[in-house]
Structures are given as structure tokens and as C-alpha cells.
Amino acid sequence: MGPLLLVLLLALILFGAGFALKALWWIAVIVLVLWLLGFLVRPSVGGRRGRWYRW
């Protein structure tokens, strides 16, 4: 019974890690697209072209 629970727990942990890593990849792709759009679409600030972010 103990080894079976250990295997099930390990499978659950690996499944959760895989889902979390896939979600993090999607978040990274979305952030990268927004960052690239920030370079392409620069709104004018005070009559001059500026950045849409403040870093």
C-alpha cells in the first residue's frame, strides 16, 4: 500500500509541475509579445515619441 501511494503522489507532483511549467511558458510568451509591441507602438508623450513603459 505504501509504495502505491508513493507512486501516485509522485505522479501527481509531476503532473502538477508539468501543468505549471506549461502555464509559465504561455505567460512568458504573452509578456514577450507585449514587450515587443511596446517597441513597435510608442505613443507620443508631450509632443515627442516616448516609451509606453517606465523601466
Which pTM does this prediction carry?
Answer: 0.55
Instruction: Identify the sign of the CA torsion 24, 25, 29, 30.
Output: negative
**Burial (CB count <10 Å: 0-12, 13-18, 19+), residue 27:** exposed
- CA distances from residue 43 to 7, 51, 55 in whole angstroms, order as listed: 55, 7, 15
Give me the residue label for grid cell 511596446: 38
Q: Tens digits of per-residue pLDDT, 1-55? A: 788 888 888 888 888 888 888 888 899 999 988 888 877 776 555 555 555 555 5
